[in-house]
Amino acid sequence: MYIKNLRINWNQQECKEYYNEILSINNLETLDFKKRITFFVGENGSGKSTLLEAIAVKYGFNPEGGSINYNFSTKPTHSSLSELLTLSKGIRSKDGFFLRAESFYNMASYVDDIGIDFEGYGGRSLHEQSHGESFLTLINNRFRGNGLYLLDEPEAALSPQRQLSLLVMINKLVNNNSQFIIATHSPILLGIDDAAIYSFDNDDINQIPYEETESYNITKLFIENREILLKRLMNDSE
């Protein structure tokens, strides 16, 4: 494990920030990473990206995504939460990447700008591939194992079929001494074996089983009861 635990040193905070309003984060003191794969789940706005970004910045990643030595910034928007974090680390990872669906476009531009050798990126510019293709190209070619990989909603670009491909890639990388922390809403990715799932709902961060995640339950409910559910939703909205 490259990150075993995090602690937030609230006593070092000098003035309140927006993340003090996010209860899951404001109530957090410490979090353990005991499994090779940790998922962050929870409602939109529950604080997953805020915490993942703080972990990434503290570990040395560029806040908008990339590897440790990527250094680009389109907007100085990252929060100061990373300054309050202490990470309890194991051995130093040999590889690493912070991949955010929401700023992937900017990262692809950076890769173009620095005139990188595209060999590691599927042989052509990430901009010349579809969103999903470029996302998987990057993971396939650039994630080399023995690494720490932080992914924010990797499913955003991917078809269900490709999410299954990603699941297989993650599993291979884990077998090659990697650690993942992934914020996701995908009932497919969450189904991977032997992961810890932390829910940011209910004003706290708690570990829950796969079958208790909203992503699983709402997808299952919808598929099994589509017609009844649609009628009820339409009636409620009238």
- Which residue among 3, 22, 54, 182 contacts ligand ATP (CB under 6 A)? 22
The site for Mg ion (CB under 5 A) is made up of 49
Residue owning tokens 């030595």: 69
Residue owning tokens 């829950």: 208
Tokens of 103: 């700023």
Q: Which class for 98: exposed (0-12), middle (13-18), buried (19 or more C-beta within 10 A)?
A: buried
18 contributes a contact to ligand ATP by CB under 6 A: yes
In the complex, the smallest distance separating the C-beta of residue 51 from ligand ATP, rounded to whole angstroms, is: 7
What 43-50 contacts at long range (C-beta under 8 Å, 24+ apart), as own/partner pairs, is 43/200, 43/201, 43/214, 46/22, 46/200, 46/201, 47/19, 47/22, 47/200, 48/152, 48/183, 48/200, 49/100, 49/102, 49/152, 49/183, 50/19, 50/22, 50/25, 50/79, 50/81
In the complex, the smallest distance separating the C-beta of residue 49 from Mg ion, rounded to whole angstroms, is: 3
**Between residues 47 and 147, which has the closer beta carbon with respect to ligand ATP?**
47
**Between residues 35 and 78, which has the closer beta carbon with respect to ligand ATP?**
78
Q: Which class for 149: exposed (0-12), middle (13-18), buried (19 or more C-beta within 10 A)?
A: buried
State the DSSP H helix or E strand holding residue 237, giving kind and residue range, or none if neither: helix 226-237
The residue range among 37-45, 104-112, 116-124, 173-181 that interacts with ligand ATP, by the rule CB under 6 A, is 37-45
The residue range among 44-52, 104-112, 125-133, 164-172 that interacts with ligand ATP, by the rule CB under 6 A, is 44-52
Question: In sequence order, what are the beta bridge partners of 100?
Answer: 152
77 contributes a contact to ligand ATP by CB under 6 A: yes
Binds 18: which of Mg ion, ligand ATP, none (CB < 5-8 Å by kind): ligand ATP
46 contributes a contact to ligand ATP by CB under 6 A: yes
- Which residue among 50, 93, 129, 179 contacts ligand ATP (CB under 6 A)? 50
In the complex, the smallest distance separating the C-beta of residue 46 from Mg ion, rounded to whole angstroms, is: 9
- Which residue among 47, 63, 132, 154 contacts ligand ATP (CB under 6 A)? 47
Of residues 111-170, those binding ligand ATP (CB under 6 A)? none
Binding site for ligand ATP (CB under 6 A): 18, 22, 42, 44-50, 77, 183
